[in-house]
Amino acid sequence: MSAHPPAALWPQDLARRRDRAQLSLRACRLCPRDCGVDRHAGPTGAWCRLGADAYAYKELLSHGEEACIGPTWLIDLSGCSLRCLFCTEWAHITQPMAAPAVPLRSGWFLRRLAHHIGQGARSLSFVGGEPTVNLAAVLSVLADVPPASQLPIVWNSNGLVGEDAWPLLTDVVRTWLIDLKVSTASAATQMLGAGDLDYGARVRDTLDRVHPATPPLLTDPARGLPTLIIRHLLMPGALASETLPLLHEIAQRWPHAVVNLMTMYLPFGPALKQLPAMPALRTLLPPNERDQAIGVARQLGLHLLVDGR
């Protein structure tokens, strides 16, 4: 047996953060929707449709995320601060408490964590839906994890982080995995359900805050996980208006991010029929758009992954 207990990977004040997060639910501003409602009283008035509990609707040891964070224990939490009409998880974001989702509780969490560490998990990924709307419940279970079981945390988020969430997340998250979905305000309004939210400004502010001072060391996995991964899903018909402007902006503004271009768009979002003006979204990604996006990203010198590899 080691003479020294393993060093804690997470901040020592998780119990205090848990309590502060529970208090913040009394007038919730965990995301920029700024609802200000009391989630301890239930989900009424909460844009995310969540009360105080989080609900896990899927979990697995994933080898399919970015290679630099895997294998990762992936926990899907229901509820979201957006309504992307191409979302394949639509049922889980619009009915977050419906089966098969189960409340996130410490007993279940610690058992599954031990199992996945035994299976080789290298990190712990919270995804959704959107993890930030579930932050209070996440901190509640993390506060019960012993130091020996603390894995680096990946926060797989839409980038909409409220002012009350920042001090709770800082130094807890090892890797920010931010979905940068669209460039233009019109696309955010039409496709993301973000018409009453300045999606572009909010997600850019998040990226500014978490962008690291130095480039990632992807060729040396022993150095650990990257600080920032920007995921961008290539969508059919959106190359010129959304993808290419975003790639140029990333090169200028967030050059130390790892950039993962996701090329396997599936036109199966159950709400896609609400987008009659964008028929391209009901098709697969044309190969020439894929090739062009990858070519531009390479020309720009981004720290590029394609479908996580």
**Does 31 sit near ligand SF4 (CB under 6 A)?**
yes
Residue of the chain from 19, 20, 29, 95 that contacts ligand SF4 (CB under 6 A) = 29
In the complex, minimum distance from the CB of residue 137 to ligand SF4, in angstroms, rounded to a whole number: 11
**Strand-strand pairing, 102-103 and 55-62:** antiparallel
CA 96 – CA 46 distance, rounded (Å): 12
Q: Per CB under 6 A, does 192 bind ligand SF4?
A: no
Binding segment for ligand SF4 among 28-36, 90-98, 147-155, 224-232 (CB under 6 A)? 28-36
C-alpha–C-alpha distance, residues 54 and 58, integer Å: 12
Minimum CB distance to ligand SF4, residue 82 (Å): 10
CB 57 within 8 A of CB 76: yes
Q: Say how many residues make up the chain.
A: 309
Query: How many CB atoms within 10 Å of residue 86?
Result: 22
Q: Is 281 near ligand SF4 (CB under 6 A)? A: no
Rounded to a whole number of angstroms, the minimum distance from the CB of residue 147 to ligand SF4 is 29
> What CA–CA distance (Å, rounded) separates 120 from 105?
22
- Window 116-155: contact mask with ligand SF4 (x via CB under 6 A): -----------------x----------------------
Cis bond before residue 100 (omega within 30° of 0): yes
User: Whose Cβ is closer to ligand SF4: residue 81's or residue 243's?
Assistant: 81
173-179 and 228-233 beta bridge pairing: parallel
Summarize as ranges the residues that interact with ligand SF4 (CB under 6 A): 28-31, 33-35, 37, 39, 46-48, 50, 81, 133, 162
